Amino acid sequence: MATLNLVQAINLALQQEMAKDERVIVLGEDVGPNGGVFRVTEGLHAQFGDERVIDTPLAESGIIGTAIGMAMNGLRPVPEIQFDGFLGPAYDQIVNHAARSRSRSRGAVTVPLTIRVPVGGGIHAPELHSDSPEAIYAHSPGIKVVMPTTPYDAKGLLTSAIRDPDPVIFFEPKRVYRSFREEVPEDEYTIPIGEAKVVSEGDDLTVVTWGASLFQCIEALDNAPDDVSIELIDLRTTYPIDMDTIAASVEKTGRCVIVHEAAMTCGLGAEISSRVQERCFLHLEAPVQRVTGFDTLMPYYKLENEYLVDAKRVGMAIRETLAY
Amino acid sequence: MATLNLVQAINLALQQEMAKDERVIVLGEDVGPNGGVFRVTEGLHAQFGDERVIDTPLAESGIIGTAIGMAMNGLRPVPEIQFDGFLGPAYDQIVNHAARSRSRSRGAVTVPLTIRVPVGGGIHAPELHSDSPEAIYAHSPGIKVVMPTTPYDAKGLLTSAIRDPDPVIFFEPKRVYRSFREEVPEDEYTIPIGEAKVVSEGDDLTVVTWGASLFQCIEALDNAPDDVSIELIDLRTTYPIDMDTIAASVEKTGRCVIVHEAAMTCGLGAEISSRVQERCFLHLEAPVQRVTGFDTLMPYYKLENEYLVDAKRVGMAIRETLAY
Amino acid sequence: MPKKTVYQASIEYVSILDENAEFDESLGKGLIADEVVVDSYERMAVCRHLDEVAFKLQRSGRMGTYPQNKGQEAAAVGTALSLRPGRDWVVPCYRENAALFMMGLPMHYILLYWMGDERGSQIPENVKMTPLSVPIGTHMLHAAGIGYAEKIRKTDNVVATYFGDGATSEGDFHEAMNFASVLQTPTIFVNQNNSWAISVPRSKQMHSETVAQKALAYGMPTIRCDGNDIFAVKYCMDEAVKRARSGGGPSFIECVTYRLGDHTTADDARRYRDPKEVEAWLARDPLIRTRKYLEARKLWDDDKETTLKERAKKIVKEVVATAEGIDKPDVASIFDAMYANIPEEVRLQRDTMRTSSLGKYPEQVGLKGTTQRV
Amino acid sequence: MPKKTVYQASIEYVSILDENAEFDESLGKGLIADEVVVDSYERMAVCRHLDEVAFKLQRSGRMGTYPQNKGQEAAAVGTALSLRPGRDWVVPCYRENAALFMMGLPMHYILLYWMGDERGSQIPENVKMTPLSVPIGTHMLHAAGIGYAEKIRKTDNVVATYFGDGATSEGDFHEAMNFASVLQTPTIFVNQNNSWAISVPRSKQMHSETVAQKALAYGMPTIRCDGNDIFAVKYCMDEAVKRARSGGGPSFIECVTYRLGDHTTADDARRYRDPKEVEAWLARDPLIRTRKYLEARKLWDDDKETTLKERAKKIVKEVVATAEGIDKPDVASIFDAMYANIPEEVRLQRDTMRTSSLGKYPEQVGLKGTTQRV
Ligand SMILES: Cc1ncc(C[n+]2csc(CCOP(=O)(O)OP(=O)(O)O)c2C)c(N)n1
Ligand SMILES: Cc1ncc(C[n+]2csc(CCOP(=O)(O)OP(=O)(O)O)c2C)c(N)n1
Ligand SMILES: [Mg+2]
Ligand SMILES: [Mg+2]
């Protein structure tokens, strides 16, 4: 088993699926000889050539719209959008075509498409390079939205996404790309879309998170007093939401803190909080708390750390919720 | 005082602001001699001419992007997007430019823009003519989002929106356009953005809604047993959210049902539900309930009524919440 | 040389059977076999009748908003003549019904669609097309992608995509044209320039003299033709299809035509359009001139016309009956159609037809009595 | 006539001071006064030095990602020469620093911006420009709208917008070109065709021979020029500005240039670009040929060059000191900048720097003890 970082694990999944299934096509800006601006597609152009690894014009709607056509006609395109903020021009193709085609045609015209997008802040990048738009797409019926954080999960979930008969947005927390490594089997494996992972078990409080914030949560847990036992859930898939895992946990702990990087208002945390109180109302010993990005833009990088959720903010919410 | 329907009230507000302030420009597809597909801009072209009432090319990003430029250079554009579903191509300009310009430039380059959009289902229109995207824009910091339902509120809020120094999306529930009339002062007046309205007072349960669903809520209230007293709140502005009005009500009633037409997951109902339990946790006698559109597309019109929230579904949630 | 010319281009206009039914033998001879002209005329006439009936259905509340094709039938038929049903693709907008029928779409699908039923877009397996596209100008990108798939599978199948003059203003039009030319896909862009986008005239839609010149931006072969002339349309389409089949990449065809009806049944064109303009175009109706062509060659007469009228009535009546005979769709289909396998949460909404949570979850407690189902 | 030509176009290329510093008097004479050429050269040299210093700042961790302008200074300076600071507008991308400085933007703004501080985009009131645009190809629409405002105010102010070859692939480019031509706004589209969009060469970006021909789609006057030749650039810009000022609407100018550096400091162009190509373009450097031009006319010599180098160093040093001397912005500014009057809920987030609700609301009860601020 190799020890891989997130970039390498995703690269390996792409390489294996392309080798196995010639319908898989990678396309996007700079994904060819350059290997993508984060090098996630490195080596694919050399191995699979121009026809299957396409450097496209600079046009996100064009990338997704063309990929939709490919998918409608039997291919399995895996477009890359270079940064979260540049999903904007592709929004219409994603929401009004990719997501709707199956339902629109009652199953006759389907779009097996996996859109890879690096997301989130923390790398000191310019404006529009640090957004977390998962809630936007979770509110758009017809797409699945995945955001794995660890190399192991990423490889398994990307393989599932590529094989999925429906469109999947695959968000990659770019802050984690090279931040750590773990053992990743070289053999193929899949992790089902829609299943959360209990990272550590506990009885006093449930923390639900996804994406790069996972590490701030782990840090907060490490800093928590020894006598409290906290359950940490990595959602991994942000739509559909694995409420069974979350509800089972909150029924046990009675307390819940949700942590994410996107802005608070209408973020995915709101949905989970609502569902938790809908399902676990009589179990709740404290209001469900959200520790999230502020309802502002992600600032330019001088203030990036002030914006980002950190272990301190998570820790405060945990302590307060326990004290309630 | 004239008795006007929603279309007429909005038309009057436009006409008055244009007459008063020559910086106000109306632009969009078919807004000129045709008066807009819903006739909301009727008469404006005849009164104000080609320069101030512009029939644009068929390009929503172009409409909004051009309007942004106008706003940056001292005008007060009021673009119309013909239908909710066609906001899609303009999403990037709205979220990545209009909403961000003030913050990006720390106040130097601002975008006083009011985007008018008919929204929602119920008029037997084709696909993509029946969406309710308010949550998408509430999750995008930098814009205000308004959705008045009555002619009186619409006139006052549109006047406020046009005069607002920041971008406002003004959603018009098209199902209500001609469904009823009420007295609307001919004189100018404004209704502040961000203030909800208590439509009827009550002690046992709070219903929060906005848009065309208001009428299904009123019907449900009419059908409720005489001995229950329900407070009905019309949110009117969907961002920022008037939580003070909602929280004051729920602290009194202890029970809350939120009703909206958009899909449930990550809808604005989730945000309100979360905030209600965050602020009013110890007051809550039942879990906050959501009665919303399903997590599916709005079906083509044969099944439209099955999709839309109706008084029966609202009534059931009210009864169950009261019985909890 | 301080100034030199680095680029030159010109665009041709093709007309074979003109509005006076004058036929140009030099280009037209042998272009369409007699029996195919007859068949084309009949198809156009049936579509025209379908249009009239659809209009009435809408007016009597039996159908939703409907966009008449009236006046534009030649562009649809003329282009489809060069395509091979079951192999070549069509990526349509909504004003080329005749082309879709020629590609194999059963006629009642179109009515069912405008009657507000998704099954009208449930394209049969042997028909190579995407559903009608409501969002204007955004579907042509799919024709680039569909073409790319054919290209790398090394077939000689081509893709024709249809769109109006208004549609060429959308950014996605530009991106589709660019992707198709950069990737050299076998995609044919068929523009139906009918002069209007609802109430917006071409002069407010674009500042260019022709729509065809838009293709120059992409180094794409482009031509303009009389779109009410099946011969001119077929001539241009043949060239484009030949190019595409043989690896020559995409082409653009501007068919100059006119929308004789309102934009849709929800529109009233008298609000913005000079009746004289409509009158002038009534004289250029593709049906009239095709009939004259056939009559001049003794391929058509009044008897045949009477028979055709009867047949069209019968066909359309049956099609209406078929469409109206289809039961209202099952409510569950709203949910079931969302994903190949619907998520648990969608299943729950389907089964309860509710979004409120009370009583939905076994572990959820606290409900007094059974107030749930009222 | 079955076929007739309905459209013809051609595009000219302008070169005045070529890469060998040969000067064409016929077009170039009197185009730029001697002292202005000197000034332009000095501006380009200062910008070049700023670029080198910015690169080093990034490498030593004192600045974030930075896109060098190196090699493209002539297009920026040559176009800005025709504009009037304080009246005409610039809607930039990020590779025309010299133009922004000529329009009045203090140099330290650019560094501050790339140092991750929004105040680098806080355009001073007397400078008519929009902030640098990170999302490629989407800002040109603003130049259409800004121009429209000038037009209906009946001023003779014009708007120049800058963008790369890659940017012309975005749908918004198409919509901007179309809106500007339909509305006949005084907008000048300045394309800096530097052959690359990060690693994507022009041949994969577009299938057209020139970028200039893209304007034909909009019936817009268009021209191509040597973008490393301030004279050719100024010549084309003068024409376009004259047209715009006099109500003649928008124009397009393709400046053929080359990005001598990496795309940004985050890029390594050796991964995808032939070093020979770079070498060839090094010889076409706009600074070299402008200097030769000046030297040939005795307007420049080695002493002046030495003085300039010193001055550039001094200027840039001061600019760096100014930018680095600006305190880190106040955290509250993240919130305060969102709206003219921030909503209550944003104010609360600002004041508490929290989103979790416990203890935030007076009416919220239940917290045991005061665990709140730790
Ligand atoms: C993206 C989008 N914007 C707006 C509309 C509303 N709309 C429907 S048809 C139409 C005009 C289309 O004009 P054109 O492309 O010329 O086609 P035609 O109807 O003339 O055949 C408009 C504006 C739409 N359907 N989609
Ligand atoms: C909408 C959008 N998509 C992608 C990017 C990422 N990106 C930044 S610069 C660039 C290439 C730009 O090329 P070009 O327009 O030719 O300008 P140049 O950098 O060559 O001056 C890309 C793809 C972006 N900033 N915005
Ligand atoms: Mg049209
Ligand atoms: Mg470039």
**What is the per-residue pLDDT across D16-25, written as a single tens digit (0 to 9) for each?**
999 999 999 9
**What is the per-residue pLDDT across C289-302, written as a single tens digit (0 to 9) for each?**
999 999 999 999 99
Domain match, D274 and D125 both: yes
> ipTM score here?
0.98
- Read off the pLDDT band of D362 (50, 70, 90): confident
- Read off the pLDDT band of D365 (50, 70, 90): low
Average pLDDT over residues D149-168: 98
Active site residues of D: 259, 263, 272
Instruction: Assess B58–C contact: CB distance below 8 Å, yes or no.
Output: yes
Residue from A58, A60, A80, A81 to probe ligand 2 pocket by mutation (most atoms less than 8 Å from CB): A58
Cβ atoms B202, B233 nearer than 8 A: no
CA of D136 to the centre of ligand 2 (A): 5
- Read off the pLDDT band of C365 (50, 70, 90): low
Residue C93, both tokens:
């907008």
Average pLDDT over residues B132-143: 98
Task: Verify whether the Cβ–Cβ distance A29 to D197 is below 8 Å.
Answer: yes
Does C285 fall in a domain?
yes
Average pLDDT across chain D, whole number: 96
**What is the per-residue pLDDT across B2-49, written as a single tens digit (0 to 9) for each?**
999 999 999 999 999 999 999 999 999 999 999 999 999 999 999 999
Provide the residue range defining the domain that includes C340: 333-364
Domain match, D88 and D203 both: yes
Which chains are within 8 Å of D by 3+ CB pairs?
A, B, C
The pLDDT score that the predictor gives to residue A239 is 98
**What is the per-residue pLDDT across B202-224, written as a single tens digit (0 to 9) for each?**
999 999 999 999 999 999 999 99
Does residue D221 register a pLDDT over 50? Answer: yes
Task: Verify whether the Cβ–Cβ distance A274 to B278 is below 8 Å.
Answer: no
Residue type, C232: A
So where are chain A's domains?
2-184, 197-323
- The CA-CA-CA angle for residues B121, B126, B128, to 5°, reads 65
Cβ atoms C254, C225 nearer than 8 A: yes
The order of strands in the sheet holding B168-173 is B53-55, B24-28, B76-80, B114-119, B168-173, B144-146, B237-239
Cβ atoms D350, D336 nearer than 8 A: yes
Does C59 fall in a domain?
yes
Domain match, C204 and C114 both: yes
Task: Return phi, psi of residue B36, to 5°.
Answer: 85, 150
CA of D178 to the centre of ligand 4 (A): 22
Residues around the ion ligand 4 (C-beta < 5 A) = D 164-166, 194, 197
- Read off the pLDDT band of D155 (50, 70, 90): very high
CATH architecture of the domain with range A197-323:
3-Layer(aba) Sandwich (3.40)
Average pLDDT over residues D344-355: 95
The pLDDT score that the predictor gives to residue D371 is 41
> Which of C172, C358, C363 comes nearest A65 by C-beta?
C172
Does residue C366 register a pLDDT over 90? Answer: no
Which chains are within 8 Å of A by 3+ CB pairs?
B, C, D
Average pLDDT over residues A158-171: 98
| Residue from A4, A11, A12, A13 nearest A160 by CA | A13
Domain match, D262 and D350 both: no
**Residue that has been written with the tokens 């109006």 in this structure:** C164
Cβ atoms C246, C217 nearer than 8 A: no
Domain match, D219 and D262 both: yes
The pLDDT score that the predictor gives to residue C1 is 65
Does residue D364 register a pLDDT over 90? Answer: no
How do strand C200-201 and strand C89-91 relate by DSSP bridges?
unpaired
Pocket of ligand 2 (CB under 6 A): A 29, 58, 82, 86, 89; D 95, 134-136, 163-167, 192, 194, 196-198, 259, 263
Compute the radius of gyration of chain D from its Cα atoms: 24
Does residue C372 register a pLDDT over 70? Answer: no
* Dihedral over Cα of D325, D329, D330, D336: its sign: positive
**What is the per-residue pLDDT across B182-191, written as a single tens digit (0 to 9) for each?**
999 999 999 9
H or E stretch covering C49: helix C34-59
Nearest-by-CA chain D residue for B28: D179
| Rounded Cα gap, residues D190 and A54, in angstroms | 28
Residue type, C311: R
- How many structural domains does chain D have? 2
The pLDDT score that the predictor gives to residue B1 is 80
Is there an atom of ligand 1 within 6 Å of C95 CB? yes
Q: What are the strands, taking DSSP E only, across chain C?
A: 3-14, 89-91, 159-164, 187-193, 196-197, 200-201, 222-226, 251-256
**What is the per-residue pLDDT across D321-341, written as a single tens digit (0 to 9) for each?**
999 999 999 999 999 999 999
Residue D354, both tokens:
């929290």
Average pLDDT across chain C, whole number: 96
Domain match, C294 and C355 both: no
Does residue C374 register a pLDDT over 50? Answer: no
Domain match, C338 and C321 both: no
Q: Which of B124, B129, B139, B260 is catalytic?
A: B129
**What is the per-residue pLDDT across D230-279, written as a single tens digit (0 to 9) for each?**
999 999 999 999 999 999 999 999 999 999 999 999 999 999 999 999 99
How many angstroms away from the CA of B108 is the closest CA of chain D? 5
| Residue from A50, A51, A54 nearest A62 by CA | A54
Biggest CA pair distance of chain C: 94
| Full 3-state SS string of chain D | CCEEEEEEEEEEEECCECCCCCECHHHHCCCCCHHHHHHHHHHHHHHHHHHHHHHHHHHCCCCCCCCCCCCCHHHHHHHHCCCCCCCCEEECCCCCHHHHHHCCCCHHHHHHHHCCCHHHHCCCCCCCECCCCCCCCCCHHHHHHHHHHHHHCCCCCCEEEEEECHHHHCHHHHHHHHHHHHCCCCEEEEEEECCEECCEEHHHHCCCCCCHHHHHHHCCCEEEEECCCHHHHHHHHHHHHHHHHCCCCCEEEEEECCCCCCCCCCCCHHHCCCHHHHHHHHCCCHHHHHHHHHHHCCCCCHHHHHHHHHHHHHHHHHHHHHHHHCCCCCCHHHHHCCCCCCCHHHHHHHHHCCCCCCCCCCCCCCCCCCCCCC
- In this structure, the dihedral spanned by the alpha carbons of residues D36, D39, D45 and D47, taken in order and rounded to 10 degrees, is -100
Does D6 fall in a domain?
no
Say which residue, D367 or D217, is predicted with more confidence: D217
Average pLDDT across chain A, whole number: 97
Q: Which residues of D touch A35 (CB under 8 A)?
A: 271
- Read off the pLDDT band of D370 (50, 70, 90): very low
Helix ranges, B21-100 (H)? 44-52, 60-72, 91-92
Domain match, C153 and C177 both: yes
* Dihedral over Cα of B201, B207, B209, B214: its sign: negative
- Contacts of residue D337, Cβ cutoff 8 Å, sequence gap at least 6: A296, B102, B103, B106, B107, D118
From chain B residues 81-110, the ones with a CB under 8 A of any chain D CB are 89, 92-93, 96-97, 101-110
The pLDDT score that the predictor gives to residue D372 is 41
Judge whether B2-184 and B197-323 match in fold: yes
- Contacts of residue D279, Cβ cutoff 8 Å, sequence gap at least 6: none
- Indicate which atom in ligand 2 lies nearest the CA of residue D194: 20
Cβ atoms B284, B277 nearer than 8 A: yes
Does C372 fall in a domain?
no
Average pLDDT over residues B122-140: 96
Does residue C324 register a pLDDT over 70? Answer: yes
Classify residue A297 by its DSSP letter: P
Q: What is the CATH number of domain A2-184?
A: 3.40.50.970
Does residue C363 register a pLDDT over 90? Answer: no
Does residue A287 register a pLDDT over 90? Answer: yes
Domain match, D350 and D208 both: no
* Dihedral over Cα of A81, A85, A90, A96: its sign: positive
Does residue B113 register a pLDDT over 60? Answer: yes
| Rounded Cα gap, residues A147 and A119, in angstroms | 9
Average pLDDT over residues A137-152: 98
| Residue from B67, B92, B88 nearest B167 by CA | B67
Does C369 fall in a domain?
no
**What is the per-residue pLDDT across C144-202, written as a single tens digit (0 to 9) for each?**
999 999 999 999 999 999 999 999 999 999 999 999 999 999 999 999 999 999 999 99
Does D8 fall in a domain?
no
CA A102 to chain centre: 23
| Rounded Cα gap, residues D314 and D107, in angstroms | 13
CA A290 to chain centre: 18
Residue C168, both tokens:
């060429």
Domain match, C356 and C287 both: no
Residue from A82, A117, A128 to probe ligand 2 pocket by mutation (most atoms less than 8 Å from CB): A82
CA D151 to chain centre: 23
CATH of the domain at C161: 3.40.50.970
For residue C198, the tally of other CB atoms under 10 A from its CB is 21
Residue A31, both tokens:
């994904």
H or E stretch covering A119: strand A114-119
The pLDDT score that the predictor gives to residue D1 is 65
Could you give the 3-state DSSP secondary structure of residue C73? helix
The pLDDT score that the predictor gives to residue B266 is 98
**What is the per-residue pLDDT across B247-259, written as a single tens digit (0 to 9) for each?**
999 999 999 999 9
Domain match, C352 and C291 both: no
Compute the radius of gyration of chain A from its Cα atoms: 19
CA B255 to chain centre: 25
DSSP codes of every residue in B62-83: HHHHHHHHHHHTT-EEEEE-SS
Domain match, D313 and D347 both: no
